[in-house]
Amino acid sequence: MRRMSPYLDRRNSSDVTMTPMIDVIFLLLVFFVWTASFQIVEEVLPSSLSAAAGSQADPRQPPPPEEDFDAVLVRIAWDEGRVAWQVNDAPLASLTEVRQRLDAIARLKPDAPVILDPDQTVPLGDVIDVYDHARRAGFQKVQFATSEEV
Decide: helix, strand or coil at residue 92. Answer: strand
Strands (E), 6-136: 72-79, 82-87, 90-92, 114-118
Q: Does an H or E element contain 96, and which? A: helix 95-108
The residue-averaged pLDDT of 58-81 equals 69
Q: How many CB atoms lie within 10 A of CB 16?
A: 6
Q: Encode pLDDT of 105-135 as tens digits.
A: 888 888 888 888 888 888 888 888 889 888 8
Angle between helices 95-108 and 124-137 (to 10 degrees): 30
Domains of the chain are 68-144 (3.30.420.270)
In the chain the beta strands, taken as DSSP E runs, fall at 72-79, 82-87, 90-92, 114-118, 142-144
pLDDT tens digit sequence for 80-96: 888 888 888 888 888 88
- 3 state DSSP class of 85: strand
Q: What is the pLDDT of residue 95?
A: 87
Note whether 84 and 91 are within 8 A (CB): yes
Answering whether pTM is above 0.75, one says: no
